[in-house]
Structure 1
Amino acid sequence: MVRPFGKKTFTVDVRKSIVRGHEPGAHPKILATQFGCSSSQIYRILKNNRDDDGVVHRQSPGRTRTTSRAMDRNILRACREDPRRTSTDIHVSVTSPNEPGPSRRTIRRRLQSKNRKARVEWAKQHLSWGPREWANHIWSNESKFNLFGTDGIQWIRRPIGSRYVPQYQCPTVKHGGGSVMVWGCFSNTSMGPLKRIVGTMDRYVYEDILEKTMRPWARANSGRSWVFQQDNGPKHTSGHVANWFRRRRVDLLEWPSQSPDLNPIEHMWEELERRLKEVRASNANQKFAQLEAAWKSIPMTVVQTLLNSMPRRFQAVIDAKGYPTKY
């Protein structure tokens, strides 16, 4: 019998069988062949049986944790104080003469673990929410649309040996053909405005969009009682923008980090991409005009379908223990 690769884990019943098989005088090598393991494992089980006065199943303790609970709290506190801190910044912040700072990779793992727990907790808190609870919420985000092609991988089916035949190649545009960045929002009753972003979108550009585009539309379509959703991007959470929300008394939906799969507007961008899949644009102005027209033509049935999917999104996050989901 061929010995399997790696260490084999046995149940308590199997360990007892090995001990009983050895009592009549069976050699450990024979037992190793019978149970499909190495002789050293058989010797170890027999030794543990003598030392512990019985068969026990010892759980492997695993790798020793490199950070203390106090250090983990310091890492999370440093991140909360300034969400823009990099892992290097946090490493410098938590390092002390008494306890050397963890590696940058360890810091990222601790933060990712924290984010996953926060996602699960947030999903549980909102799992029972239905259309009534989401009725006054406004969903928002930014997205980039290429004038030509896609940023993702494009597959082409072609016969063997025809790799360089023109009809089986992806056409290209010099310098990638350009792109258009847009900001958009919607609610359960209306598609909101689609705003083109020219240049880099920083906190000042974002505040301008909130003041001149989002707020007038929200007051006209949702009255004075509405809740605004945004992700935790640096420009969204900057002190400058936070002051605007306080000054304008806008209620914000608390949002877990790294959670695009919880935001229905991500699927709205995909819907927009599908509607313009076969439509070509020769320049950025034409592309934005196409995007805006397609955005306005999206029926409210699409919005309702997305909002009705919210409980399923939340359950998927809970089932995945905070890891990314299919949404």
Structure 2
Amino acid sequence: MPPRRKLSDLDRGRAKGWRQDGVAARQVAQRLAVAPSVITRLKQRFHATGRVQERQRSGRPRVITQREDRFIQRQAMPQRMATANNIRQHLKATTNTVVSSQTIRNRLHNFGLRARGPVRGTTLSANHRAARRAYCTQHVRWQRQQWAQVLFTDESRFCLEPADGRIRVLRRRGERFAEGAVLERQRFGGGSVMVWGGISTRRRTSLYHVVGNLTGVHYQNEILEPLVVPALQAIGLRAILQDDNAPPHRSAAVNTFIQQVRVNRMLWSAKSPDLNPIEHMWDELCRRVQQHHPPPANLGQLLQWLQQEWNGLPRAFICNLIHSMRQRCVECLAHNGGHTRY
């Protein structure tokens, strides 16, 4: 893509003379090796201002042409994580135009493209996307009454000192290590607790503290028998259990127990936390615990506050999460089985 040729004042005078002598605009353009539209605009400028020279411009002359603007946009859109320096180097290699990285950023800003932190999601292979599409295709037409039969379950881990990266400190220049401006943390987050829970539109289970590693036997004896089975019986005869494909959930002993007690289990697609509404329960639970001041002093107090806030979450909040299942399926299908905003 060669840069567009710019007419000098001498060429503009020659073009004016040729046009006054009756030479066609296309022939003048051929003599000067420019597009006919350049000669047409030159004629219009002469009739409007009485001169063919450009007006005196303020500021630095623009280096990048409109074609190069489109080139920058075409480079940025397919490669969303490309830096301004990458695009600058590609522009130089392709068009031999040398500009600064800030110029590239200015052009991107004109297109509405600004650097933002990416949303983090799990890695989805082609098989994962296909499984997600199959699940959403099967359930996208479910009504709220059908989703009300599902008990959504999951485990989550909460750290005593969560590092969400959103903590800010107010300080002046030179006060980086001032008292109160340093966030003191213990190694490995000061410890953590793992909890299990289940929700439906009709009831929620107790928040169970998972001690140690969760095994299939542990999952059957401590969670399925005392918590899940009574919850499903309270929901009704058509109750459905939703749990993910973690190894403890799919062990041989657990599968045998599920068949013995005749529990209906929902087939779940791998790597689909955005399709499970209980994930938002964990987020809300974490926010509520972090609002406690001072923060929990030990793991026992953290567990106590988790159980307290779990029981205090409004039922309407849980119902809204489960009622969003149809929209989750719709959005997943719209993204061809890819990531959703949930």
TM range (shorter): 0.5 to 0.7
The question of 1:240 aligning with 2:253 is answered yes
Distance 1:292 1:194 in 2: 6
Distance 1:169 1:326 in 2: 34
Tell me what 2:290 maps to. 277
Distance 2:130 2:172 in 1: 48
Q: Secondary structure at the match of 1:193?
A: coil
CA-atom RMSD in angstroms: 2.8
Q: Secondary structure at the match of 1:145?
A: strand
Shift of 1:165: 2.3
Give 2:185's match in structure 1, choosing from 155, 159, 172: 172
Shift of 1:291: 0.9
Tell me what 2:274 maps to. 261
Give 1:215's match in structure 2, choosing from 218, 229, 234: 229
Distance 1:185 1:261 in 2: 16
Number of residue pairs matched?
Answer: 229
Tell me what 1:290 maps to. 305
Asked whether the 8 Å contact 1:140–1:186 carries over to 2, the reply is yes
Give 1:153's match in structure 2, choosing from 148, 151, 165: 165
Which stretches in structure 1 are left out of the alignment for 5+ residues? 5-25, 38-108
Asked whether the 8 Å contact 2:136–2:329 carries over to 1, the reply is yes
Distance 2:199 2:133 in 1: 25
Tell me what 1:316 maps to. 331
Shift of 1:2: 4.3
Distance 1:175 1:137 in 2: 36
Q: Secondary structure at the match of 2:341?
A: coil
Tell me what 1:69 maps to. none
Which stretches in structure 2 are left out of the alignment for 5+ residues? 5-29, 36-66, 69-122
Q: What one-letter code is carried by the residue in structure 2 that aligns with 1:295?
A: W
Asked whether the 8 Å contact 2:241–2:266 carries over to 1, the reply is yes
Distance 2:146 2:188 in 1: 46
Tell me what 1:142 maps to. 155
Distance 1:230 1:242 in 2: 12
Between 237-246 and 260-269, the greater mean CA deviation after superposition? 237-246
Deviation track 1:11-37 (CA, whole Å, cap 9, x = no partner) reads: xxxxxxxxxxxxxxx9xx999xxxx89
Q: Aligned in 2, Cα 1:174/1:256: closer, same or farther, shift over 3 Å?
A: closer
* Structure of greater Rg: 2
Shift of 1:299: 1.2
Shift of 1:298: 1.0
TM-score by length of 2: 0.61
Q: Aligned in 2, Cα 1:277/1:155: closer, same or farther, shift over 3 Å?
A: closer
Sequence identity, in percent? 32
Q: What one-letter code is carried by the residue in structure 1 that aligns with 2:164?
A: G
